[in-house]
Amino acid sequence: MAHHLSIHPDNPQARLLQRACEVIRQGGLIVLPTDSSYAIGCQLGDKAAVERVRALRGVDDRHHLTLMCRDLSQIGQFARVDNARYRLLKATTPGSYTFILEGTRELPRRVLHPKRKTIGLRIPAHAVTQALLAELGEPLLTSTLIVAGDDAPLTEGWEIQERLNGQIELILDAGTGGVEPTSVIDLSGPLPVLVRAGRGSLVPFGLA
């Protein structure tokens, strides 16, 4: 049964964050709030957990999963970022963006796109997520909480528990989640390319 924890959206309780981190480190899947919609997350290096995320989403290895990072220094560790890309990232993070970037050797090959060797990266602007990443001490591998067969993310903690009980271990419920996903910007090439328009403004990338 999935543990359902009601967490304060602005001042998250330390004991609940610690419990979530324990679940992650033990190979569990958690649902967490973000500045766009709820996401499902697991530990980066846990092969079985990554496969469970993909199965729940109904996606294969060509679908970019997202490495949720606390700050730019973490992104620099896991993705190739030159000066121009760094300036763009600095101007737009934290925020409701997912960036497609070429991964470094720090990443397991199984989480990279099989042909392009890219991954999604993001720095969310949400107090709970930021506090969780700080407590965890490492990035979290995530995906938008859209269950296979659905068209939109799940938004309510009770519904998440009802639909996914037995498929996840823990829910951090910070209230009703959003339905608009992040804007996805591909920065792996010479110029920014819009993959998906979402919450984040496209103006900084010249794509509006």
Q: What is the mean pLDDT of residues 12-35?
A: 97
In angstroms and rounded to an integer, the radius of gyration of the C-alpha atoms of the chain is 16
With CA atoms as reference, report the closest residue to 139 among 160, 118, 124, 153.
124
Contacts of 174 by beta carbon, 8 Å cutoff, 6+ apart: 7, 8, 9, 12, 33, 126, 128
pLDDT, average across residues 90-116: 93
Q: Which two tokens stand for residue 197?
A: 């328009």
pLDDT band, very low/low/confident/very high, at 76 (cuts 50, 70, 90) = confident
3-state secondary structure of 118: strand
Give me the mean pLDDT over the 4-32 stretch. Answer: 97
| Alpha helices, H only, the chain | 14-25, 47-57, 72-78, 83-92, 127-136, 157-164
pLDDT of the residue at 161: 94
What is 67-124's CATH number, 3.30.110.120, 1.10.490.20, 1.10.3720.10, 3.40.50.620?
3.30.110.120
**Average pLDDT, integer, range 184-193:** 95
pLDDT in tens, 112-167: 998 999 999 999 999 999 999 999 999 999 999 999 999 999 999 999 999 999 89
Contact yes or no for 37/176 (Cβ under 8 A):
no
Question: Rounded CA gap, 114 and 124, in Å?
Answer: 26
| Total number of residues shown for the chain | 208
What mean pLDDT comes out for the span 99-115?
92
- What pLDDT score does 1 carry? 78
Q: Supply the pTM of this predicted model.
A: 0.94
C-alpha–C-alpha distance, residues 29 and 55, integer Å: 12
Return mean pLDDT, the chain. Answer: 95
Domain ranges for the chain = 67-124
Tokens of 131: 């506090």
